[in-house]
Amino acid sequence: MIRRTLLTLSAFLLLSGCGEPQPPEFSKLLAYQELKSRCVTDAPESLQVECQQFVTDYDREHELLSKMAEIHEDEHQEQEYIDLASSEALLALKVHANEKLIAKQCQTQMPKIINSNDLNSVDFCLQFSENTLTLKEYNYLQKFAPRFDNNPQYLEYQAKYASEKITEGLRAMNEGKKREAIEAFKLASDAKDPEGTYLVGIIYEEKQIKKAIAWHKKAVAQGVNLSNVNLARLYLRIKLPKQAKMYYTQAAKGGNALAQYRLFKMDTKSKSKKSRKKAQEWLRKSASSNYPQAQYIYGLQMMKHKEFTKAQEWLQKAYDNGMLDAAFFLGKIYFQEESYEKAYGMLSRATDKGEANFMLAQMFEKGLGVKRNSVLAYRYYKKAHEQNHDNHVADMKRMQRKLTKKDRLAARYIGTKAAKKAKATRKRCGPLANEKNVKKAKKNIHIVGVAQKPIKSANGFIVYGEHERLYYIIAPELAKNITPYQSISIKVKTTGKAMRISSDVGALQSVYQFLHLATCK
């Protein structure tokens, strides 16, 4: 008798949510406890009959399970236990069916419940996770925030709705329909999406500074650290440098490498030794965070101090992240170190500079890392001369005296090979982005730089390219896996559309939009 009493007490405690983990025969009822409680206290009038039947069946099953718990170890009552188990199994099916019936009725009756403004019935029906909301129902629930803000169905619909509005807004932006875009982004923002708030601020930047500031502050409050950078730029436009520096500092402390670089630029010209020292700290942080411009400047500083190993390291990172100007300085370091093969690879990418052409001429004249070739040596001396590197007339005459048919054929082969390689790269990736081709629509181009998203779950991301150019890439799938300041090389399609946002010098800059096509290796 004591054993049976203990089993009954244990069953009661387990069904009440207390005690040790419940045995299998009781676990099936736990999922229905909330519905039973709600059916008893606040069932909608239209569901009174269904709720009453559910409670009756629930109580009956509970009773049978209690009896089974009392006798399940008594071998003399085996047949009685089997009969109870059979009845309980049928009741379990009935309880489940009743729960599904009430859920279905709730889904059907929700519009009527909302029209009657019956909040208790709305609360009751929202407990069924399998039911979904409509836009009308979502809009109704939104009016009573924060009452429903933790409801899973409400949150699921909210996230889906916000994502749809972001997509609509981005599509409108691509078509140059900024008014439609801003309305879509505002609806996403109302649905608690920080990306929507950030993008509203971005669109307002061109002509409505006060509104842009208000929306970026709202975005900061929602966790968008990148909006601190936009606020700093906006304050520079209205000639408030102290406020600008404050927001750059907030962004920099939050890990934004661009803000860290801007603080370096601000402090490096200071008369204060302390500020100049702080400027160097910001530069190192920015470079370590993978910001290309900072890596390039830091590498040049190391080169100036003759720390060539460090200079090479940072310039190589800058080059890999799209800073093509770093090629010349890398080539110069390799040339000085007599690593001529590496030097040739970099210097041949920097033929817009006279000194690079001079070093290439020296390499082809003397066979340094390449085969001797008087034709190519002559050409590079000629380029260096034309670019005012030095007077190379004597060098050109010396090479002319050495020209051979074999050199001409070899030079032609090298030129053809380089042209084919460049053509293959352009075919695979498109031409590199420049100030002209980004403005045309429906062109495939190649963008290299580092990427950053405004928020973790953004539908697009910004690419920081050479010369501090900014590009906005719309690519929801790719954006999912982008990490802060990740090196990126992608093929994109131009839209020809741009947002005009504040720049780091207190003016406006165009940020063109692109559609992602493929990763380019």
**pLDDT tens digits along 151-192:** 898 999 999 999 999 999 999 998 989 999 999 999 999 999
Per 3-state DSSP, the chain is made up of helix, strand and coil in percentages (nearest 5) of: 65, 10, 25
As a whole number, mean pLDDT of residues 482-501 equals 94
Query: In this predicted structure, what is the pLDDT of residue 334?
Result: 96
Q: In 10 A of CB 456, how many CB atoms?
A: 12
Query: In this predicted structure, what is the pLDDT of residue 3?
Result: 32
Bigger pLDDT: 311 vs 468: 311
Q: Are 228 and 250 in contact (CB under 8 A)?
A: yes
User: Is 504's pLDDT higher than 80?
Assistant: yes
Residues with Cβ < 8 Å from 105, sequence gap 6 or more?
46, 47, 50
Q: Which residues are paired to 231 by β-bridges?
A: none
pLDDT in tens, 356-373: 999 999 999 999 999 999
Q: Are 226 and 215 in contact (CB under 8 A)?
A: no
Share of residues in the chain with pLDDT > 90 (%): 75
User: Is 319's pLDDT higher than 70?
Assistant: yes
From the number of C-beta atoms within 10 Å of its C-beta (0-12, 13-18, 19+), residue 510 rates as: middle
**Sheet strands (E) in 147-195:** none
Q: Which residues are paired to 81 by β-bridges?
A: none
- Residue 130's pLDDT band, with cuts at 50, 70 and 90, is confident
Q: What is the DSSP secondary structure assignment for residue 20, as one 8-state letter?
A: S
From the number of C-beta atoms within 10 Å of its C-beta (0-12, 13-18, 19+), residue 235 rates as: buried
User: Is 132's pLDDT higher than 70?
Assistant: yes
From the number of C-beta atoms within 10 Å of its C-beta (0-12, 13-18, 19+), residue 386 rates as: exposed
User: Is 304's pLDDT higher than 70?
Assistant: yes
Residues with Cβ < 8 Å from 375, sequence gap 6 or more?
399, 403, 407, 408, 410, 411
Residue corresponding to tokens 């990126």: 488
Q: Are 67 and 4 in contact (CB under 8 A)?
A: no
Q: Tell me the C-alpha to C-alpha distance, in Å, between residue 307 and each of 12, 268, 282, 292.
A: 77, 21, 20, 19
Query: Could you give the CA distance from residue 141 to residue 135 in angstroms, rounded to a whole number?
Result: 10
Task: Give the pairing type, strands 470-474 and 508-519.
Answer: parallel
- Residue 336's pLDDT band, with cuts at 50, 70 and 90, is very high
User: In 3-state terms, what secondary structure has residue 450?
Assistant: strand
The torsion defined by the Cα of 40, 46, 51 and 53, in degrees rounded to 10, comes to 130
User: In 3-state terms, what secondary structure has residue 446?
Assistant: strand
Query: In this predicted structure, what is the pLDDT of residue 77?
Result: 83
**Region of 490 on the Ramachandran plot (φ > 0 left; ψ -120 to 50 alpha; else beta):** beta
Q: Are 384 and 354 in contact (CB under 8 A)?
A: yes
pTM of the model: 0.82
Query: Could you give the CA distance from residue 305 to residue 384 in angstroms, rounded to a whole number?
Result: 27
Query: In this predicted structure, what is the pLDDT of residue 466?
Result: 85
As a whole number, mean pLDDT of residues 299-323 equals 96
Q: Are 282 and 255 in contact (CB under 8 A)?
A: no
User: In 3-state terms, what secondary structure has residue 504?
Assistant: coil
Query: In this predicted structure, what is the pLDDT of residue 368?
Result: 97
- Which residue in 166, 86, 58 sits closest to 453, CA to CA? 166
Q: Which residues are paired to 484 by β-bridges?
A: none
- Six-digit token string for 158: 């909210």
As a whole number, mean pLDDT of residues 300-317 equals 96
Out of 120-124, 149-153, 313-317, the most confident range is 313-317
As a whole number, mean pLDDT of residues 55-75 equals 87
Residue type, 361: A
| Count of residues in the chain | 521
Residues with Cβ < 8 Å from 514, sequence gap 6 or more?
438, 445, 447, 471, 472, 473, 474, 492, 493, 494, 495
pLDDT in tens, 407-463: 999 989 988 988 898 888 888 999 999 999 999 999 999 999 999 999 988 999 999
pLDDT, averaged across the chain: 90
Query: In this predicted structure, what is the pLDDT of residue 365?
Result: 95
- Which residue in 174, 179, 199 sits closest to 495, CA to CA? 174
CA 112 to chain centre: 41
- Residue 5's pLDDT band, with cuts at 50, 70 and 90, is very low
Query: In this predicted structure, what is the pLDDT of residue 24?
Result: 52
Task: Give the pairing type, strands 441-452 and 460-464.
Answer: antiparallel
As a whole number, mean pLDDT of residues 95-101 equals 94
Q: Tell me the C-alpha to C-alpha distance, in Å, between residue 455 and each of 156, 220, 435, 481.
A: 19, 11, 27, 12
Query: In this predicted structure, what is the pLDDT of residue 6?
Result: 32
Q: Are 474 and 459 in contact (CB under 8 A)?
A: yes
User: Is 2's pLDDT higher than 80?
Assistant: no
pLDDT in tens, 11-60: 433 344 444 444 455 677 888 999 999 999 888 888 999 999 999 999 99
